[in-house]
């Protein structure tokens, strides 16, 4: 029996409760969590923006230690330090065959299957995004547990599982930022902070951070931003003024709102790239005229999990951490317990803070 933050139903408040967690079955591992990041996607799962069967244990950005392994697991052993991968690729579907594991058609199957039960009444629980990291321990497929390279603190390594892989990939794989380019980053949350650090690592010349909260300026500048703009009606105009009047070479949107996506597009120069990382609801409709699509020649693209192959990118990120180029602890604005997750959700809704980290 372990403690977990349980979502009883969509739009219901999370409650901390005991759950019965089975031993790992064939191809599975049991992981004792060291920490779990509170991601905006967890908020979207809890309020119905993203689909998730309930009751459920949310949390998908985590790191911990393998406790036990099921039959047929030979890649991991008890005592191994791991980072959870909420989108493990099957290696067999159409998209995996194209070399695009971030689009794997089968990566989300675990989220639809019960994995544990409430100790109080035996109700079946589903794992949020297949990982259920808002718990002292979880059981996942072995493919969803990536070995953590040496030299990376286990607690801070939780951020590698979502925010950092997504932010790093958005810069290096999706937007493909080159040395000297100008970049605008919309949204200074966990992913936005990872984008800022990754843009700095990529050698971007000017990095403009944009957020509705003026209090995030210090966080943004510490992460690598050269300029900070408080979002308003003239945001795109102000960004263009900071980039020679033309607009930035690339804009990366980490919010998932129609108006922010539209502003990011408008702040991008002719021929530049606008990359959407934020996850918005179906009601968030973005419109463009046919003439502007032709005239500006910009590229607008989505970005799923940073277009990353986590097994390949995680060692690269670990090397950046060891070399001091990537500061994971600087992204953490609050270290909390399971009971603090609802307050972290409220802070995200209000646009406050960077990344809250549940530390077990």
Q: Cα separation of 264 and 179, whole Å? A: 20
The model's pTM is: 0.94
Give the pLDDT confidence score for residue 354 in this predicted structure.
76
pLDDT tens digits, one per residue of 97-111: 999 999 999 999 999
- Residue 74, pLDDT > 90, answer yes
Give percent of the chain with pLDDT exceeding 70. 100
- DSSP codes, 44-110: HHHHTSS---SSEE---EEEEEEEEE-TT--S--TT-EEEE-SS---S-SHHHHTT-GGG-TTTTGG
Closest CA to 184 of 99, 248, 116: 248
What are 251's two structure tokens?
Answer: 């804009």
Cβ-based burial of 58 (10 A; exposed 0-12, middle 13-18, buried ≥19): buried
> 89: left (phi > 0), else alpha (psi -120 to 50), else beta?
beta
Q: Cα separation of 196 and 210, whole Å? A: 11
Q: What rounded mean pLDDT belongs to the chain?
A: 95
What are 80's two structure tokens?
Answer: 């191994």
Q: Cα separation of 156 and 332, whole Å? A: 8
Enumerate domains of the chain plus CATH numbers: 2-161+327-359 (3.90.180.10), 166-304 (3.40.50.720)
Kindly indicate the confidence band of residue 280, based on its pLDDT and cuts at 50, 70 and 90. Answer: confident
Closest CA to 348 of 178, 176, 197, 212: 212
Kindly indicate the confidence band of residue 48, based on its pLDDT and cuts at 50, 70 and 90. Answer: confident
Give the pLDDT confidence score for residue 49 in this predicted structure.
86
pLDDT tens digits, one per residue of 147-200: 999 999 999 999 999 999 999 999 999 999 999 999 999 999 999 999 999 999
pLDDT tens digits, one per residue of 309-345: 999 999 999 999 999 999 999 999 999 999 999 999 9
- Among 213-217, 276-280, 281-285, the range scoring the smallest mean pLDDT is 281-285
Query: Residue 128 half-sphere exposure, CB side, CA atoms within 13 Å?
Result: 33
Give the pLDDT confidence score for residue 188 in this predicted structure.
94
Kindly indicate the confidence band of residue 282, based on its pLDDT and cuts at 50, 70 and 90. Answer: confident
Q: Cα separation of 68 and 138, whole Å? A: 11
């Amino acid at each position: 029996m372990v403690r977990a933050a349980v979502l009883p139903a969509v739009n219901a408040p999370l409650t901390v409760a005991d759950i019965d967690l089975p031993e790992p079955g064939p191809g599975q591992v049991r992981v004792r969590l060291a920490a779990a990041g509170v991601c905006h996607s967890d908020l979207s799962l809890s309020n119905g923006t993203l689909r998730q069967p309930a009751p459920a244990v949310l949390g998908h950005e985590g790191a911990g230690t393998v406790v036990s392994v099921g039959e047929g697991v030979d890649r991991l052993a008890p005592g191994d330090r791991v980072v959870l991968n909420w989108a493990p690729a099957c290696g067999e579907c159409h998209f995996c065959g194209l070399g695009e594991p971030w689009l794997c058609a089968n990566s989300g199957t675990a989220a639809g299957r019960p994995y544990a039960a409430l100790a109080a009444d035996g109700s079946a629980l589903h794992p949020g995004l297949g990982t259920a990291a808002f718990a002292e321990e979880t059981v996942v497929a072995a493919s969803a547990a990536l070995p953590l390279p040496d030299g990376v603190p286990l607690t801070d390594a939780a951020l590698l599982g979502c925010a950092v892989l997504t932010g790093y990939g958005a810069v290096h794989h999706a937007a493909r930022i080159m040395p000297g380019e100008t970049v605008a980053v919309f949204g200074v949350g966990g992913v936005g902070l990872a984008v800022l650090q990754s843009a700095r690592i990529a050698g971007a010349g000017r990095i403009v951070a944009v957020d509705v909260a003026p209090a995030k300026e210090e966080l943004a500048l510490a992460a690598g931003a050269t300029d900070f703009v408080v979002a308003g009606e003239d945001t795109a105009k102000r960004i263009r003024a900071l980039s020679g009047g033309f607009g930035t070479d690339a804009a990366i949107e980490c919010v998932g709102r129609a108006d922010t996506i539209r502003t990011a597009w408008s702040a991008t120069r002719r021929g530049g790239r606008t990359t959407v990382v934020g996850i918005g609801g179906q009601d968030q409709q973005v419109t463009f005229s046919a003439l502007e699509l032709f005239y500006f020649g910009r590229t607008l693209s989505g970005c799923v999990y940073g277009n990353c192959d986590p097994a390949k990118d995680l060692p690269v990120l670990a090397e950046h951490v060891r070399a001091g180029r990537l500061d994971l602890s600087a992204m953490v604005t609050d270290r909390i317990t399971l009971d603090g997750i609802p307050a972290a959700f409220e802070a995200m809704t209000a646009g406050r803070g960077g990344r809250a980290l549940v530390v077990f």
